[in-house]
Structure 1
Amino acid sequence: MSTGRAQWRRRVPPWAVDAGLVVLAVLDAWINLFDEGTPLVWACVAIGSAGLFLRRRYPLTVFLLTLPMTVFMDVAVAPIAALYTLATSTRNRHLLVGCALLHAAAGTLAWPLSEAFTGDRTWTLIQFAYTLATASAPVLFGQLVQARHDVARQLKEVEEAREHERALHAQTVLARERAQLAREMHDVVSHQVSLIAVQAGALQVASKDPDAREAARTIRSLSVDTLDELRHMVTLLRASGGKETELAPQPTLADLQQLIANSGIKTTLTGELPADVSTTAQRTVYRTIQEALTNVRKHAPGARAEVRLWHDAHHFGVTVTNTAPTRPAVALPSSRQGQIGLRERAELLHGTFTAEPTPQGGYKVELRAPARSD
């Protein structure tokens, strides 16, 4: 029903509504006057009725123009329409009360004015109260319409704010997923492709069969290109990703032996972590070891590595140390995102990550985190 009324209002132009009110106001005045109107009275009727064309732009002025015709006759259309328009356009309650009182006073007065104070005072007071009650109706209804418009506008603003909030939340979730994808691509895919490139390079150098050497060269070249493309993808994803990212389930400490066996590096594993260390911490330790061994393969060929798990009363962590390389390193592209990712993982545990060269020409990385951190 309300939708039908709204469509009807949109179909009827405002000027047609105003013209209809003017006609009704003139008819109202003509019915009350019959043939007793003087030129002055009809002039007041004309001014007050025609002023309704301007009621939307000058509501207070139009209301004041209807007061003279209210004094001369008992009319309702013009002053009520003017009062309603004024009530829908202003928030000044004192002004509305004053206009209602002014309308009641004008409707109570009789023309000529000398007769207004010679009759029964009680009846005059009753008539004033009745006219004031009549004037209060369009004022209250106009204020109600204004409040309805305010509520509708506020609801629209709330809905727009919710839509904006939902869009921001979706963007945040997308950014976190991109950061997670970038981190896992670097930690998992880069690790495997780097291993392929290193092994292919070693095969290219060691093989005496020309076909095998060419195949190894091709594999190494494709691996290098793949690492380069991966670097661009990781950089692009990380540029639009968040920092704190929920990590998907990944290998834990139970997979360390397999990681070391597949690394192609002479590695010793010592120590252990507390039995109650969280799954998130286990993944972080695993990724730290994985990244450290990958860097040893890439930058320190022939080096040995030592992985030491440790814990005390307040902290736990892992230290990975490698010796100096025994042969020149194979040139491979680097995304330089590995240590950034490890520092981010350490921050998720409220810990620290350090990486520095050793006096013997090797390198050492260490993860340290509070014992009770998740």
Structure 2
Amino acid sequence: MTDGPWHRRHPIAVDVAFAVTFVLLDTGVTLVGGSWWPRHPGPLAWALLGGQAVACASLALRRVVPITVVGVLGAFTLVLTLLITPGGALTPAHPGTMWAPASTVPAAYAPLYHRRHRAAAFATLAVCTLVVMRPWDPSVSVMTVGLLRTALGPLLALYFDARRRLVQALVERAERAERERHLLAEQARAEERARLAGEMHDVVTHRVSLMVLQAGALRVTAGDEATRQAAEELRAAGCQALDELRDLVGILRAAPDGDRTPSVAGFADLVAESAAVGVPTELTEVGDPALASPVVGRTAYRVLREALTNVRKHAPGARVTVRVEYDPARIRLTVRNTAPTGGPGALAGTGSGLGLAHLRHRIELLHGTLRAGPGPDGGFRVEATLPAYVPTVEPVG
């Protein structure tokens, strides 16, 4: 663990420091006569002083075996008390003092704070309290101080444990509220995207459908073959635009059934069209095209179409190399063209200049990447990397 204050990151060091501190404290208090130390200490007194140091040192294990630590200190206090009275083997210099070590205070804190075997903890603390209070040798001061010494730790433990659980509950509630807020924001964005997709589909489809119908009517009524051919091309372009619009709406909302937008199978046709208008184009495909899911294939088709269109606009006389790599994880499409051999083409000023930007947005929706930029030979390179499979939600009947 690397977060949090130092004492939380090093609990063992904290417990060892506690143990050393209370060993020194209890030993010092005993030697100055603040506890059970006799006026003329003998071997038994020194042995008991060592036993007390060992019992206090058990505080180093208060997180691991808290009940055992309380039992060790209680057992030492009981043995010491029995040796003093009624055993008479040891006579304290000040009989009215506390004989239990001060280490019982932090020892009594641990069992309830760490919430391990609460019933056994209460029973052990109750027995330890009786031993420390010495009710068989009643003294108001000893019984009062003894009760406070063994009760202070558990009371603090119950308070801090309740505070810890309250803070933890508040943190969990805040985290849950944050997650719910994030989910609501995601839901709102999804609903807004679906609404915009529906509005775009309704408005644009209406206008383009009118264009397609008018082009079809012109094809039927035109008096010459050239006009009929142009009308047919206009009608076919309008139909393709409608298909692409449905595909875009499908990405934003749900993929439509029967989408006839070209996929990876249309790469060869694009290359042939490019070569037919005077742009030498070479296509290389590595792997199985069936690995590309429909949405991915249609997106790759648009990338290739946009790249070839830009070559015709901005790089007259250039040669184009198209390489498509298919594998189960991703589809990589790379389109390179050499440096143009002539000046700017007649189509260089046409278009909105946003084709690649729109493609990049579409690819990011599929969690892919698009890189485009000049090459070292003066040409241009477009590289699209897409996941091989992107699931789509089919519309419900």
Distance across 2 between alignment mates of 1:162 and 1:183: 31
Segments of 4+ moved more than 6 angstroms: none
Partner SS state of residue 38, structure 1? helix
Q: Give the equivalent residue in structure 2 for 1:82.
A: 107
Q: Does the 8 Å CA contact 1:103/1:132 hold for their aligned counterparts? A: no
Q: Give the equivalent residue in structure 1 for 2:64.
A: 57
Q: Give the equivalent residue in structure 2 for 1:173.
A: 188
The RMSD of aligned alpha carbons is: 2.9
Q: How do residues 315-326 of structure 1 correspond to structure 2 at under 5 angstroms?
A: none
Q: Kindly provide the CA deviation profile for residues 260-311 of structure 1, in whole angstroms up to 9, marking residues without a partner as x.
A: xxxxxxxxxxxxxxxxxxxxxxxxxxxxxxxxxxxxxxxxxxxxxxxxxxxx
- State the shift of 1:160 in Å: 1.7
Q: Give the equivalent residue in structure 2 for 1:152.
A: 167
Distance across 1 between alignment mates of 2:195 and 2:76: 78
Q: Give the equivalent residue in structure 2 for 1:69.
A: 76
Q: Give the equivalent residue in structure 2 for 1:261.
A: none
Q: 2:154 aligns with which of 120, 123, 139?
A: 139
Distance across 2 between alignment mates of 1:18 and 1:77: 16
TM-score, structure 1 length as denominator? 0.53
Q: Which runs of 5+ in 1 are unaligned?
A: 1-5, 110-115, 241-339, 344-374
Q: Kindly provide the CA deviation profile for residues 215-261 of structure 1, in whole angstroms up to 9, marking residues without a partner as x.
A: 32232121011011112223333329xxxxxxxxxxxxxxxxxxxxx
Q: Does the 8 Å CA contact 1:70/1:79 hold for their aligned counterparts? A: no
Distance across 1 between alignment mates of 2:12 and 2:102: 17
Distance across 2 between alignment mates of 1:100 and 1:62: 11
Partner SS state of residue 253, structure 2? helix
Q: Does the 8 Å CA contact 1:55/1:62 hold for their aligned counterparts? A: yes
Distance across 1 between alignment mates of 2:154 and 2:213: 86
Amino acid at match of 2:13: A
- State the shift of 1:19 in Å: 2.2
Q: Give the equivalent residue in structure 2 for 1:29.
A: 26
Q: How do residues 187-266 of structure 1 correspond to structure 2 at under 5 angstroms?
A: 187-239=202-254
Q: Give the equivalent residue in structure 1 for 2:13.
A: 16
Q: 2:128 aligns with which of 103, 106, 122?
A: 103
Distance across 1 between alignment mates of 2:164 and 2:188: 36
- State the shift of 1:207 in Å: 1.3
Distance across 1 between alignment mates of 2:102 and 2:15: 12
Q: Does the 8 Å CA contact 1:84/1:141 hold for their aligned counterparts? A: yes
- State the shift of 1:203 in Å: 0.8
Distance across 1 between alignment mates of 2:113 and 2:214: 82
- State the shift of 1:92 in Å: 6.2
- State the shift of 1:43 in Å: 5.0
Q: Does the 8 Å CA contact 2:133/2:147 hold for their aligned counterparts? A: no
Partner SS state of residue 239, structure 1? coil
- State the shift of 1:199 in Å: 0.4
Q: Does the 8 Å CA contact 1:24/1:77 hold for their aligned counterparts? A: no
Structure 1 pair 33/68, CA: closer, same or farther in 2 (3 Å)? Answer: farther
Distance across 2 between alignment mates of 1:172 and 1:106: 64
Distance across 2 between alignment mates of 1:42 and 1:212: 115
Q: Does the 8 Å CA contact 2:133/2:144 hold for their aligned counterparts? A: no
Q: Kindly provide the CA deviation profile for residues 91-131 of structure 1, in whole angstroms up to 9, marking residues without a partner as x.
A: 7665555444333322233xxxxxx84x6x4x2x5522331
Q: Does the 8 Å CA contact 2:215/2:231 hold for their aligned counterparts? A: yes
Partner SS state of residue 135, structure 1? helix
Q: Does the 8 Å CA contact 1:104/1:132 hold for their aligned counterparts? A: yes
Distance across 2 between alignment mates of 1:145 and 1:91: 15
Amino acid at match of 1:70: T
Structure 1 pair 153/138, CA: closer, same or farther in 2 (3 Å)? Answer: same
TM-score, structure 2 length as denominator? 0.51
Partner SS state of residue 180, structure 2? helix
Q: Does the 8 Å CA contact 2:18/2:59 hold for their aligned counterparts? A: yes
- State the shift of 1:205 in Å: 1.9
Q: Which runs of 5+ in 2 are unaligned?
A: 32-40, 81-97, 256-394
Q: Give the equivalent residue in structure 2 for 1:182.
A: 197
Aligned length: 227
- State the shift of 1:40 in Å: 4.8
Distance across 2 between alignment mates of 1:77 and 1:210: 110
Distance across 2 between alignment mates of 1:153 and 1:223: 61
Distance across 2 between alignment mates of 1:91 and 1:10: 19
- State the shift of 1:181 in Å: 2.5
Distance across 1 between alignment mates of 2:21 and 2:119: 29
Distance across 2 between alignment mates of 1:91 and 1:55: 12
